[in-house]
Amino acid sequence: MTGVNSSPAEPAAPRPPRRRVHTRARILSAAGELFLSAGYARTSIEDICAAAGYTRGAFYSNFATKEDLLLALFDEQAADRMAELERLAAAAEQLGPEERARRLVEALLRVEPAETGWILLFLEFRLLAARTPELAERVAAHDRAVTAAVAALLERGLPELVPPGAEAGQAAEVILAAREGLLARTAAGGPAAAQLLNAAMAVLAGLLG
Amino acid sequence: MTGVNSSPAEPAAPRPPRRRVHTRARILSAAGELFLSAGYARTSIEDICAAAGYTRGAFYSNFATKEDLLLALFDEQAADRMAELERLAAAAEQLGPEERARRLVEALLRVEPAETGWILLFLEFRLLAARTPELAERVAAHDRAVTAAVAALLERGLPELVPPGAEAGQAAEVILAAREGLLARTAAGGPAAAQLLNAAMAVLAGLLG
DNA sequence: TGTACATCAGTGAACGCGCGTTCACTGATGTAC
DNA sequence: TGTACATCAGTGAACGCGCGTTCACTGATGTAC
């Protein structure tokens, strides 16, 4: 099969596009940075191409529309988030119940500075999705996945947070919503992230103790 | 002072503009409806004027810019929200501690269908504010006022929700953030509002019990 | 290894549209006498 | 009460700009022989 050409009469063997392989990645990366600092709507395709070192056409040879690019970025980010949760679950598995609980609370509530940037972009995506059915399903699916992962974490490592009468999924939903709400407040110029998360920790600790 | 004209030589007595008094209100109201259903960015001034029965010029004779209109709407809504909280506080004052607690939890977590619409507009405002310093201060001030009002409610009527080691303001912040986060999820096509708020109630009840 | 050819990623000019804002105007409303 | 005048809320056409998208092209890259 290797030496013998398989019927050269066939119109065109599907050849892999192996030209300037990094273009798409570079555009994605530039778009990510610009979206983070200026938001999706305020960032033009021209801006992105310039930052990545290409012209508009390069963009349209890699993405169908601007929304398509946003979706690619979202999928990337969503995958990262899920991978992180899986890592966290695996790490938690190794620990004793006490240390595990401490780690999980911290991991669920802590905020990296980078995230305060992402939250705005994510909110913009939620907003867009609210008016765009296809996108809405994507966000909803992502929410379901993250909620389920966090619910599993809670069940194994923080059962105190799942009170009798409630399901782990409900607790996860509330925690994630609170987290997103707090992040939104900080990102839009409210109190510092650290301060708000201290609040959340204090409230949680008090309620649990 | 009434019969005698006070120096008619004076250039022009400031006369009150009492012409088509309802124009501004009509535009505001039409804008509110359209913003609710399509969002701020997707609603054009032309749309608003048409819905209100005027032309573009009428708009600019009542508002400086589109952002100015949004701000007026925001202030209106913010005042309503604060008034509602005051009414709630006054009503709670009349009740025994048990009934009062029940009422407050319900009031803080219940969601009117109308609010799921407003939340999207509010998020869009937060997003805009995140990139616009003057707006940011407005939202932050509103957040502070609402948080303080809710904190006062909690201190008087739901001290169980303010665990030892935490301040009422912190508890208020967490509750409001969770509420906003949950609303954002429903509004963008996630689970039904009722379902999410059941979750919050169940979690709270469990933690408190 | 060298040459001719085909492909297609990326170029860059142009299109077209939506929309916020401006502006010269007009006619209904209120004031002065 | 009636008339002349001034004001200014609202009209509607036009401006201008940003931006997403299209498209005819070109030249580097890979393939065939």
Chain B contacts of A205, Cβ < 8 Å?
163, 165-166
pLDDT tens track of chain A, all 209 residues?
333 333 333 343 444 444 667 999 999 999 999 999 999 999 999 999 999 999 999 999 999 999 999 999 999 999 999 999 999 999 999 999 999 998 998 899 887 778 888 999 999 999 999 999 999 999 999 999 999 999 999 999 999 888 888 899 999 999 999 999 999 999 877 888 778 877 887 888 777 76
Question: What residue spans of chain A are helical by DSSP H?
Answer: 23-38, 45-52, 56-60, 66-93, 97-109, 113-130, 133-157, 168-187, 193-208
Contact A176 B179 (CB under 8 A): no
| DSSP code of residue B64 | S
| Cα A202 to Cα A89, A103, B201, distances in angstroms | 24, 15, 20
Q: CB count, 10 Å around CB of A156?
A: 15
Q: Which of A166, A181, A207 sits opposite B178 (nearest CB)?
A: A181
What SS3 class is residue A144? helix
| DSSP code of residue A10 | S
Contact B203 A177 (CB under 8 A): no
Q: Is A204 exposed, middle or buried (0-12, 13-18, 19+ CB in 10 A)?
A: buried
- The terminus-to-terminus CA distance of chain A in angstroms comes to 70
Contact A114, A122 (CB under 8 A): no
Query: pLDDT tens for residues B97-150?
Result: 999 998 998 899 887 778 888 999 999 999 999 999 999 999 999 999 999 999
* Rounded Cα–Cα distance for residues A162 and B208 (Å): 12
Report residue B47 as tokens.
């749309």
- Nucleotide D33 C1' to residue A17 CA (A): 22
